[in-house]
Amino acid sequence: MPKYMQDDDQISDGVNLLISILVRYPEIGTVSFDPDNNSIKLTFMLSGISWNAEIKTAKQCIIDSIAAYHMLQNIHPDITDVILTDAYEQIAMLTIKRDVHTLSKGEIALIIALLRDGFRERLMSDQNDTMQEEDLMLQEELIDDMLENLKKKRTGHGLIGIREDGRVLVFNK
């Protein structure tokens, strides 16, 4: 098992990115970083979902919106996957996998806005009412900075961040 130093910048950037994403966007259930593909997976939980044309339409809307965003921003992503799975009875997991090199804070915000609009009360969220507007802005700046740092440096450490009882936990994979 590899040893990690507390001042390891690569791990610190990855951990800070995952923490900032989870703190800023309470709708994201888990976020993970895969160093092999240099990609990030954002996973959302949707309740009260029935597998019908509505869910397929919503998934296609997300795919089309991300593609339009990429076109408008002149981004040519290596990885863009949108996967919808039936996790449990009346609960679905929506996973969006993106490469780090072309992912931006704006794209994450777009995805969140689409999900908030499309799924409203069905999108499971861990709301934190104590967050002030300046705290949210700080988290957005951190997301931007950490994404830029990960784009510049290749890291070999897989990480996963999860939400549990109002806390954010980050683990090595």
pLDDT (tens digit, 9 = 90+) per residue, 144-171? Answer: 888 888 888 776 678 999 988 778 889 9
pLDDT confidence bin for 87, thresholds 50/70/90: low
pLDDT of 11: 58
Answer yes or no: is pLDDT of 21 > 80.
Answer: yes
Contacts of 132 (CB under 8 A, 6+ apart): none
CB 43 within 8 A of CB 58: no
For the chain, what's the residue count? Answer: 173
Average pLDDT over residues 126-138: 72
Sheet containing 91-99: order of strands: 80-88, 91-99, 39-47, 28-34, 159-164, 167-172
What are the angstrom distances between the C-alpha of 124 and each of 53, 54, 139, 144, 159? 21, 18, 21, 25, 22
CA 98 to chain centre: 9
What is the sign of the dihedral through the CA atoms of 67, 72, 44 and 41? positive
For the residues 120-133, what does the mean pLDDT come to? 75
Average pLDDT of the residues in 58-85:
91
Work out the average pLDDT over 133-151. Answer: 83
Residue 42 to residue 20: CA distance in whole angstroms: 13
What mean pLDDT, rounded, does the chain reach? Answer: 83
Asked if residues 86 and 108 have their Cβ atoms less than 8 Å apart, the reply is no
| Residue 149 amino acid letter | N
Phi, psi of 150 (to 5 degrees): -70, -30
